[in-house]
Structure 1
Amino acid sequence: MEDAQSISDQCGVSSCDFNQAPSFESQSFRVRGSLARALYRKQQHDDFLSNFDKRKWYQCDLSEVPSSLASKFVQLDPDQDTLDFLEESEKKSDWILTQMWHSLAKLFLGWFMTQTSINGWLQRGSMFVLSQSHFRKILRVEETWSSGSLLDLGAGDGGVTAHMAPLFKKTYATDVSPTMKSLLQKQGYEVLDVDNWYIDKKFDVISCLNLLDRCDEPLKMLDQIGGSLATDGRVLMAIVLPFSVYVESSPDHKPKESLQIKGSSFEKQVESIVKNVLEPANFEIVSWSRVPYLCEGDLQQSYYWLDDSIFVLKKRHTD
C-alpha cells in the first residue's frame, strides 16, 4: 500500500500532496487482510469522489483579487473530456493485478531511474490539465481557430499535449526524461533539447504547465520563454498552488532560483504570482482561471488532484 508521499512521487510532484478523499478509518467492522483493507478503503474513497461536486475545482473568490485581475478571469467547468479522463482513471484503478505490478516495479526501478522515467516506462500516472475546449476558451479564440507552432515545455508522456496539438501545424516538445522523450517522438512531436530549445526558433504558443516549481532556474526559463515567442505569441502557464518547489535532479531538491510567491489563499497567491513573478518578467495577463491538475490513481483511490492556477500571457514590450 503506497503512502501519500509515494503517490505524489509517482506523479512527479514529490513535494506536493495530491488531494485525497477523507480517511475512512472508523468503521463498524474491521476488514481483515492488507489487500482487502486496501480495496475496502478504495471503495470508500471512490464513493466519496463519485459524489463530490467537481465544479468546486474551478471556483475562485474574485473579491480577493484586484478588479483589474478579476476582470480577466475565465470561468471553466468540468467538460466531457475531463469526465472521460476521470472515467478512464477509474477503470485503470480497478485493474488490481496491474496496480500491484506497478507498485512492485516502482520499488525495484527506483534504485536507478527517476520517478518521471519510471512513470513513462510503466505508462502510468498520466495527467490532465485542460481539454481542447478549455484551451480555446481561456485563449479567447473561436472554435475554428488554429495556429502555426506549439512548444510544450516539460511535456511528459504527451497526454496533455495531445489536447492542444491538433490546433497547430507543428508541435514541438521538451522533457528531461529519456523515456518520456521516446514517448513524445512516437506520437509525432519534434523533441527539442532542454538546453537549447530557445536559441533559433520562435513559437506562436508556448505552454509551460506545472514546470516552474519543478525546474532549477525558473526566472531564467521565463526569460527564455519571453525571448522565444513569435510576434503576438501567447504563453499558457500553469502553477500549482499552494506553491511548493521540488527539483527532481537536484540532490537537495531545491532550485538555484526562488520565486517570491506569497499569500494565505489560492487567490492571494495568484495575485502574488502576477505582481512578483510575471509582471517583473515583462509578461501581461491576457486571461486566467483555476483548474484541477488531475493524475491517474492507484489502489488507494481512482485519481488525485492539485489546484492549478492557469494563465494566458503575452509579452509586454518595453521601449
Structure 2
Amino acid sequence: MQCSNNKLQQDITATTPITKISDTHCQNDFDFSPYLPKPRGALARAIYNKHISDRYMNNFDRSKWYNCNIEQVPPAIAAKFVQLDHDKESMKFIQESEEKSDWIFIQIWHVIVRSILGWFMTQTSINGWLQRGSMFVISSAQFLKLLKSDGDWHRDSLIDLGAGDGAVTAQIAPFFGKVYATEVSNTMRTLLQTRGYKVLDVEDWDADRKYDMIACLNLLDRCNTPLQMLKQIRQALKPNGMVFLALVLPFSAYVEIGSKNHKPKELLPIIGASFEEQVTSVIEDVFHPSGFKVESWSRVPYLCEGDLRQSYYWLDDALFVLKASDEDGSS
C-alpha cells in the first residue's frame, strides 16, 4: 500500500507468495480425463490451465480463508478475535474478477503492455495506467462487524495510507465525512482524485492534521521504515482515534521504491511459523512496543484480480483495529 508514507500497491502476482493453482491441487477434486491430451500452443495451454484452476476454485471451501485456530493464540488475544465470512460484496469482487480474466484479448494486451512499460515504470503505475489489478480486503458489512457496530457508526475523518486505486478505500469511505489518501504512484493518485478523495503528499500527510481513523492496509510489509510509520500513525490519531491495519501473513517484506535490493531499512521482529503464531508476534512484538492495543482482529483473504493464468489470487491477511495504549511507544 504506501511507504515513505504511501501505498506501494505492487503487482501481487509478481512479488508475493500468491496462491497459484496447479494440477496437483485439483487432481483429487475431479477427473482430468475429459481434458486430455493437453494442448501444445502457449495460449491454448494458458487457457487450458486457467480452466483447470477455475474449476478448482469453484469447488474450494472459501470458509477456510476466514478460520483461525484460536487455541494457538494466548487467551487475551483469542478474546479479541471476530469471525468473518465471505459475503455479497466479496463474492461480487470474485465474480467480476472471473469475468475480466475471460477477456482473452484484453489479457493478452495487458501482458504485452506490461512487458514494455516494465522497463521504466513500476508495476503499481502500470496497473494504474491499465486500470487492472484491483484489490479487495473487506466489505462495508465486514468492516462494521470488525468494529462491533450495529451499523449506526460514523466518524469525521479517515486517511488511507497508500490507497492504490481506491477500491479498498471505497468500502469504508461512506462511514466518514472527510476522506484523505496518500499514494506514491502518479497514475494511482489520479484515480484516487477521480473518486473524489483528497490526496495528500506522502511526506507530510501527518504534518497539520489529526484523524479519527488511519487505514494502513497491507503497507507495513511494503514500507522501508515500518516502525517509523507506526510512530507517525500513533502521533496523527485524534484522542480515541483508531487504526485499521492489514498485514499479509506469513510476513514477507518487499520494498518497491527506495531500496536497491527491495529490502526494508527497518525489519519487523515477527516470529513464528503458523498464521496464529505470527499474529501473536505482531501484537506482542510490534504493536505493543509501538504503543498500540488491539481492539479486535480477524482473518480474511487479500484478493487480487487475476490474469490469463488464474481468475483471481489471494493471500492470507490479518486485520486489526488498534487504539493508542497508555504507553507512548517512544521506546
TM-score bracket relative to the smaller structure: over 0.9
Match of 1:273 in 2: 282
Query: What is the deviation of 1:23?
Result: 2.9
User: Equivalences for 1:149-168 in 2 at 5 Å?
Assistant: 149-168=157-176
Say if 1:290 and 1:310, in contact at 8 Å, map to a contact too: yes
The aligned amino acid for 2:98 is: E
Match of 2:119 in 1: 111
Say if 2:243 and 2:322, in contact at 8 Å, map to a contact too: yes
CA distance in 1, matches of 2:13, 2:21: 18
Q: 1:261 to 1:13 in 2, by over 3 A?
A: farther
Match of 2:136 in 1: 128
Say if 1:15 and 1:245, in contact at 8 Å, map to a contact too: no
CA distance in 2, matches of 1:53, 1:274: 28
Give the number of aligned pairs. Answer: 311
Q: Which runs of 4+ in 1 moved over 6 A?
A: none
Query: What is the deviation of 1:34?
Result: 1.2
The correspondence for 1:258, drawn from 247, 254, 267, is 267
Match of 1:290 in 2: 299
Query: What is the deviation of 1:11?
Result: 2.4
Match of 1:214 in 2: 222
Instruction: State the percentage of identical aligned residues.
Output: 55
Say if 2:10 and 2:256, in contact at 8 Å, map to a contact too: no
Match of 1:199 in 2: 207
CA distance in 1, matches of 2:251, 2:13: 11
TM-score by length of 2: 0.91
CA distance in 2, matches of 1:69, 1:91: 39
Say if 2:134 and 2:304, in contact at 8 Å, map to a contact too: yes
Query: What is the deviation of 1:144?
Result: 2.0
The aligned amino acid for 1:281 is: S
Note the alpha carbon deviations across 1:14-70, whole angstroms, 9 max, x for none: 442211223369864131211111101100000000010111000000000000000
The correspondence for 2:178, drawn from 158, 170, 180, is 170
> More deviation in 218-227 or 135-144?
135-144
Match of 1:305 in 2: 314
Note the alpha carbon deviations across 1:170-211, whole angstroms, 9 max, x for none: 000001111111110111000011111011101001110000
CA distance in 2, matches of 1:31, 1:132: 43
TM-score by length of 1: 0.95
The aligned amino acid for 1:252 is: N
Query: What is the deviation of 1:10?
Result: 6.0
Note the alpha carbon deviations across 1:150-174, whole angstroms, 9 max, x for none: 1000100000000011111000000
User: Equivalences for 1:6-45 in 2 at 5 Å?
Assistant: 11-12=11-12, 14-23=14-23, 28-45=36-53
Query: Secondary structure in 1 aligned to 2:238?
Result: strand
The aligned amino acid for 1:198 is: D
CA distance in 1, matches of 2:12, 2:21: 20
The aligned amino acid for 1:91 is: E
Query: Secondary structure in 2 aligned to 1:213?
Result: helix
Note the alpha carbon deviations across 1:68-107, whole angstroms, 9 max, x for none: 0000000000000000000000000000000000000000
Say if 1:216 and 1:254, in contact at 8 Å, map to a contact too: yes
The aligned amino acid for 1:183 is: L
Say if 1:58 and 1:76, in contact at 8 Å, map to a contact too: yes
Say if 1:11 and 1:295, in contact at 8 Å, map to a contact too: no
CA distance in 2, matches of 1:233, 1:144: 17
The aligned amino acid for 2:187 is: T
The correspondence for 1:48, drawn from 37, 51, 56, is 56
Say if 2:38 and 2:48, in contact at 8 Å, map to a contact too: no
Query: Secondary structure in 1 aligned to 2:23?
Result: coil
The correspondence for 2:108, drawn from 88, 100, 119, is 100
CA distance in 1, matches of 2:13, 2:202: 19
Which blocks of at least 5 consecutive residues in structure 2 are unaligned? 1-8
Note the alpha carbon deviations across 1:187-244, whole angstroms, 9 max, x for none: 1000011111011101001110000000110000000000011111110100101100
Query: Secondary structure in 1 aligned to 2:58?
Result: helix
Query: What is the deviation of 1:146?
Result: 1.0
Match of 2:3 in 1: none
